Amino acid sequence: MRRSTGAAVARRAGHLLVAWLVTLAFILPIYIALSSAFKSQRQILDNPLGLPAPFTFDNILTALQRPDQLVQGGLANSILVTALTVGILIPLSSAVSFWVSERGPRLKGVLLAVFALGLMVPPQTVLLPIVQLLQAIGLGHSYPGLILSNIGGGYLSFAVFVYVGFLRTVPREVIEAARVDGANDLRIWWTVVLPLVRPATATVGIFLGLWVWNDFLNPLFILGPLQGQTITTGIYVSLGGYSADYGQLFGIMFLAAIIPIVGYLVTQREFIHGLMSGASK
């Protein structure tokens, strides 16, 4: 009995230790980035894990006062690309998902398998063909080309899978009642389906918004250095070739993280409701 009790205590202690190590592995980079945004270059180099002493806003002010307006321009470009991409993907994916969910089981399985290919293929492997295709149709090095590549990639497949899974929880009687009242599929999608899948919309919007906002390779290769940059490629540009101003770099990273955090805080209630609804269903 004592041996089994001791083994159980040791097992729980081991699980607790692993949990703390995993938590530390996630929290430590965030802590370093956040604290370094308010530390001088010397403090960052001498004591990366230390708290800011003294606390300073010089890094953020220096980043905002750059002559090339890198932060302001990068944030504006990222907001534009993210808002248009998510704003197009949400109605498009929800409409496609409603259409797919109304098909027969065999056709529905085939369509979902096709969308699954968009999640299986690594985006890096098709980046070069996409750049060449955009150049061939006159959309190379342009924001419409970047937005089009985002819409046609794995983002659409992810959104379709989320919506199709959530639509399984919608009672069929609601949709059939709308059809009996004479509503066509377009009106049912707009007036019945979209309000019911609002938690799924929040989930899709948060994930897609973060992915598009944090995307680095697509803006770097599709836009190119001469067209401009989003905030992620702007961080890359801010790095010097032989030396780096780490204080300013962390300041730019802090400014780049504010908007996604605010967006999550605004939609977190619907996001959590969507996750809980999916789990409970």
Work out the average pLDDT over 160-171. Answer: 88
What is the CATH number for 159?
A: 1.10.3720.10
- Same domain for 84 and 48? no
- The reply to whether the predicted model has a pTM over 0.85 is no
Q: Based on the domain organization, do 269 and 173 belong to the same domain?
A: yes
Cα Rg for the chain, rounded, in angstroms?
24
Q: Which domain holds residue 188?
A: 68-280
In a domain, 225, yes or no: yes
> d(Cα 120, Cα 239) in Å, to the nearest integer?
33
Secondary structure (H, E, C), 221-245: HHHHHHHCCCHHHHHHHHCCCCCCC
167 and 54 both lie in a single domain: no
| Prior bond of 54 cis (ω within 30°) | yes
Please indicate, yes or no, whether residues 89 and 167 belong to a single structural domain of this protein. yes
* pLDDT one-digit tens code per residue, 67-105: 888 888 889 999 999 999 999 999 999 999 999 988 888
Cα separation, 224 vs 216, whole angstroms = 11
Q: Is 51 in the same domain as 174?
A: no
For residue range 128-163, list pLDDT tens digits in order. Answer: 889 999 999 988 888 999 999 998 878 999 999 999
Which of 40, 31, 66, 86 has its CA nearest to residue 229? Answer: 66
CA neighbours within 13 Å on the CB side: how many for 264?
11
The total of structural domains in the chain comes to 2
What does the DSSP 8-state code read for residue 69?
A: -
Position 41 pLDDT exceeds 90: no
In a domain, 63, yes or no: no
pLDDT tens digits, residue range 191-211?
Answer: 888 888 888 898 899 899 999
Task: Say which range, 35-39, 236-240, 246-250, 273-277, has the weakest mean pLDDT.
Answer: 273-277
Same domain, 107 and 34: no
